């Protein structure tokens, strides 16, 4: 069992790295696609991390902290709603479905990769 103070520090450090990395993606990939890229990459990493036999400290830092801050549901919601509000309802719906599907598929691929790397 991880000490609660250490757990908070690990999540905070991982979250700081994840947030900075998410910002870097936003600088490199334009518009709503940066949200989809971050969510898919974060889901891939999360799947691999949860499938691999990591210790609780690594899970707190990387899975909870980094992936939690790197993936971005709030930006996903803003992009979807603002696209719909701009009169592009079909694009907003397609973006929502594609983002969700890509994140799920990436998680499954990551989990498969994480499980095979340790087998």
Is there a contact between 47 and 114 (Cβ–Cβ < 8 Å)? yes
Please give the annotated binding residues for Na(+), written as ranges: 68, 71
Neighbours of 62 (CB within 10 A): 22
Please give the annotated binding residues, written as ranges: 68, 71
Report the C-alpha gap between 44 and 38 in whole angstroms.
10
Number of H helices, E strands in the chain: 6, 0
């Amino acid at each position: 069992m991880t000490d609660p103070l250490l757990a908070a520090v690990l999540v905070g450090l991982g979250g700081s790295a994840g947030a900075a990395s998410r910002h870097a993606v936003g600088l490199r990939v334009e518009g709503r696609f940066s949200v989809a890229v971050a969510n898919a990459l974060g889901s891939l990493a999360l799947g691999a991390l949860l499938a691999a036999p990591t210790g609780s400290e690594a899970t707190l830092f990387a899975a909870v902290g980094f992936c939690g801050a790197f993936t971005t549901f709030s930006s996903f919601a803003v992009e979807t709603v603002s696209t719909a509000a701009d009169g592009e309802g079909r694009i907003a719906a397609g973006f929502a479905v594609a983002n969700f599907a890509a994140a799920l598929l990436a998680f499954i691929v990551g989990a498969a990769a994480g499980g095979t790397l340790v087998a």
